[in-house]
Amino acid sequence: MTKRIRQGAVAAVTVLLAATACSGKQSPAPGEAGRQTAAAQAGRGAGGVAVDKARAFTLVASGDVLPHSSVIDQAAADAGGLGYDFGPMLKGAAPVVSGADLAICHMETVYGEDGGPYTGYPSFKSPPEVAQGLRATGFDSCSTASNHTLDDGAGGIRRTLAALDKEGIAHAGSARSATEAARPTLLRAGTGKHAAKVAHLAYTYGTNDVPLPEGQPWAVNLIDEQKIVADARAARRAGADVVAVSLHWGTEWQDAPDEKQLALGRQLTVATSDGRPDIDLILGTHAHVPQAYEKVNGTWIIYGMGDQIAGAMINYEGAQDPRGNQSSMGRFTFEPPTKPGKRWTVKKAEFVPQWYDTTVGRVVNLNASIDEGADHHRVVRDRIRDVVLGRGAAKDGLLMGK
């Protein structure tokens, strides 16, 4: 498959995390005060981008990539008997994904060995060619912390991250070594030396009761409020202008965010250092259905984007549930601060309603298809819209985009 490189492609940079306190105003680490002073004198923000030269950028995020057996079969058919091709099924999302300066996916499953065998639910092992499809679509980074991250132990993590590395896709949430786990994923949004630096962090509520590999407590990031805030602060010191956190959380098949999501969202968005929020965006996955967007303490939270790719889904009542193939993509336009040390702000927030058509194995941009006269798509789009706006996000400026 041809590897598509976006103009202004985002390069991943790794920087070692430093230990930090988790509450209150932060004191500079040894040697940090001098760097902060120098940055301020140069008219730069915490990430080192000159405020007067920094440029706005767009960030797109999408929901769970969950290759059930039917999805794997579709990829095999699309490859014409020559392996697996996940590009065609994602083609409907490509204009939105590739049109952003930075695009983030959620890779829920781990990859099996070249040649297989590959499996779907309940213990997933996906073809490594998924990574090729993600790169061809335009994704720059993927969260890899989920309840299925340990479906094939440490070997599954190694294969998944190696395949993403091969395609030039950054990743956050699982690791092959303690050193890798201690590095924030730093991405460049835009081109040139004035491109913004975005930290991507990722965590999961659990791993389906599968224990962490012996001697590898760092293999998967588990949700812990203090650790998330500490990691965000360390990423900021490492140069991040914007900190985006992917959270695999919530209650499956529940349209509304649960109380744990609401409480953790409030706790994370209230955390500040020197008057600046530690986290700039929260991207939720796991529930299998679209959930609301909400601006909390001045920070946008997507409680759940739903499944971008999944087979026909069966809910807890044992019924096929079409909501399991509905999702949204979040698109946020960040603009630089007017003064050094202030936060980058979201000047435009959008959601793009999306549907995975299991009958043909294709992602559908519902707004684009409605222009072509698909009445069923209008019904699905309107349901997604009502859920996404269910916690009053419209009053804070959230728009439905194409």
Would you kindly state where each structural domain of the chain is located, as residue ranges?
A: 42-400
Dist. CA 282–CA 300, nearest whole Å? 7
Q: Is 61 exposed, middle or buried (0-12, 13-18, 19+ CB in 10 A)?
A: buried
pLDDT of residue 363: 98
CATH class of 42-400: alpha beta
Contacts of 310-317 with CB under 8 Å at 24 or more apart are 310/64, 310/66, 310/67, 310/68, 310/71, 310/356, 311/66, 311/68, 311/69, 311/70, 311/71, 311/120, 311/121, 311/358, 312/68, 312/70, 312/358, 313/288, 315/253, 316/252, 316/253
| Position 313, amino acid | M
How distant, in Å, are the alpha carbons of 9, 205, 344 from that of 188? 8, 28, 14
pLDDT tens for the chain, residues 1 to 402 = 323 334 334 444 443 333 333 333 343 332 333 223 233 333 445 455 666 677 999 999 999 999 999 999 999 999 998 999 999 999 999 999 999 999 999 999 999 999 999 999 999 999 999 999 999 999 999 999 999 999 999 999 999 999 999 999 999 999 999 999 999 999 999 888 889 999 999 999 999 999 999 999 999 999 999 999 999 999 999 999 999 999 999 999 999 999 999 999 999 999 999 999 999 999 999 999 999 999 999 999 999 999 999 999 999 999 999 999 999 999 999 999 998 889 999 999 999 999 999 999 999 999 887 766 678 899 999 999 999 999 999 999 999 999
Using an 8 Å Cβ cutoff, are 240 and 186 in contact? yes
At 22 the pLDDT is: 35
C-alpha triplet 195, 198, 204: angle, nearest 5°: 165
pLDDT confidence of residue 23:
35
pLDDT score for 14? 41
Distance CA 110, CA 122 (A): 12
Phi, psi of 108 (to 5 degrees): -75, -30
pTM (two decimals): 0.89
3-state secondary structure of 63: strand
| Rounded Cα gap, residues 329 and 351, in angstroms | 6
Distance CA 90, CA 176 (A): 28
Whether residue 117 is preceded by a cis peptide bond, meaning omega within 30 degrees of 0, is yes
The pLDDT value recorded for residue 77 is: 98
**Cis peptide bond prior to 336, omega within 30° of 0:** no
**Cβ atoms of 350 and 388 closer than 8 Å:** no
